[in-house]
Structure 1
Amino acid sequence: MSRVGPRLKIIRRLGIQLPGLTAKDAERRPYPPGQHGQSTARRRKVSLYRLRLEAKQALRFYYGISENQLRRTYAMAKTRPGRTGDVMLAMLEARLDNVVFRLGFARTIPAARQLVVHGHVYVNGSRVDRPGYRLRTGEMIKLDPRMAENPHVQEQLQRGPQVKLPGWLAKTDDAPLEGRMIAPPTRESVPFACNDAAIVEYYAR
């Protein structure tokens, strides 16, 4: 697990809304944490390097991946057709833990990751316990039927997805614990302001 520390504090430090990481609201105090957070937010100058670094950190933190994992994803994205930043984000969006969250089966991505690691998620009928499993178009995602009795899952199913269900995913109408990836993820479906160009520039140095 690469997402370490108080999530709300890290969101405030990065200065960007990252939906799905915490139920707490960063908008109430939209400035860095600490005694001098408000004054620092007003006067600090942001270098180009810091801009690129914080864009990379936000992406890593949101998807809960290590530096090596992100570097490997970037390297793979460079070898595929299309804009590198778009391909990299599409690969990260297709992670199993992210898809479980986007389908509304868990309130946060860390909670979705826990469902996967504990073996409660099936892909095409086979149990998959790797959060980084990259889904392909047409694959079916299903929670263990026993999870229908879990109060946290029941509450989340009643609440619905925390962010809008993207067009590349579909839920099964008559089976609330099932969903399907019906198309490849798109750059536009990423639910936060991601400066992917700055991340590509960071790794291209």
Structure 2
Amino acid sequence: MGNSRPKAKTMRRFGEVLIARPKYQRIVDKRPYPPGMHGKEKALRRGRLSDFGLQLTEKQKLAFIYNVGERQMRRYYLKASRMPGVTGDNLLALLETRLDNLVYRLGFANTIWAARQMVSHGHILVNGKKLNVASYQVVPGDMITLHQRMRSNVQVVEAIESRGPLPEFVSYEEASFTGTLIRVPNRQEITIPVTEQLVVEYYTRKT
């Protein structure tokens, strides 16, 4: 489901593995410098980023991890800033509870990109009804079910068999291929290599 090379190049540019998959780790370990003819030279010349550079990098990492564009990311920030509580925590919770991300977290797909494709192609049901909107905001109690026709798909079977422990904020019923969002995740449960406060600072200076 998709070519891994563009994703690996992006992670090499950031200088870290943003998606915990062995193939990405191998690629970044083998070439721990930015892509391109002068990647090694750039790595040697790379100095300390400015405050804005750090903020921009964290924002780009967050957008990459959740596969969202700039317009969407800005809307999520504005929504998070209006919610009670810590804006950064709210932002991550909104992204983490997107439908495509929860399809990925449940192990129906190996990557967020494959998960988005599954949703877009109508392979996912929410509360028993087909839903093809990847950005749908899942709320506690919503049930996410893999469509019957996809349960024997080779790539899906491989993804399910290779998935790690499920997050504590979801439950899963193996017999029906159904996951349920139990509650909104807290910051400690969202294990991504991003400093969300820098993302908040990026958008704060942009408004």
Q: TM-score, normalised by structure 1?
A: 0.90
Tell me the percent identity.
42
State the partner residue of 2:179: 179
State the partner residue of 1:57: 60
1:168 equivalent to 2:169? Answer: yes
Q: TM-score, normalised by structure 2?
A: 0.89
Tell me which amino acid in the other structure corresponds to 2:46: R
State the partner residue of 1:37: 39
Question: What secondary structure is seen at the aligned counterpart in 2 of 1:171?
Answer: strand
CA contact (8 A) 1:20 1:109 kept: no
Q: Which has a greater percent of helix?
A: 2
Larger RCO (CA under 8 A, 6+ residues apart): 1
Question: What secondary structure is seen at the aligned counterpart in 1 of 2:117?
Answer: helix
Select which of 114, 129, 133 maps to 2:132: 129
Segments of structure 2 that go 5 or more residues without pairing to the other structure are: none
CA contact (8 A) 2:17 2:24 kept: no
Segments of structure 1 that go 5 or more residues without pairing to the other structure are: none
Number of corresponding residues:
198
Tell me how far apart the structure 1 counterparts of residues 100 and 20 of structure 2 sit (CA, whole Å).
Answer: 11
- Relative to structure 1, is the Cα distance of residues 85 and 21 closer, same or farther in structure 2, using a 3 angstrom cutoff? farther
Question: What secondary structure is seen at the aligned counterpart in 2 of 1:54?
Answer: helix
Tell me how far apart the structure 2 counterparts of residues 87 and 22 of structure 1 sit (CA, whole Å).
Answer: 30
CA contact (8 A) 2:139 2:181 kept: yes
CA contact (8 A) 1:121 1:143 kept: yes
Tell me how far apart the structure 2 counterparts of residues 12 and 189 of structure 1 sit (CA, whole Å).
Answer: 26
Question: What secondary structure is seen at the aligned counterpart in 2 of 1:204?
Answer: helix
User: Would you identify which runs of 4 or more consecutive aligned residues in structure 1 move more than 6 Å?
Assistant: none
Question: What secondary structure is seen at the aligned counterpart in 2 of 1:24?
Answer: helix
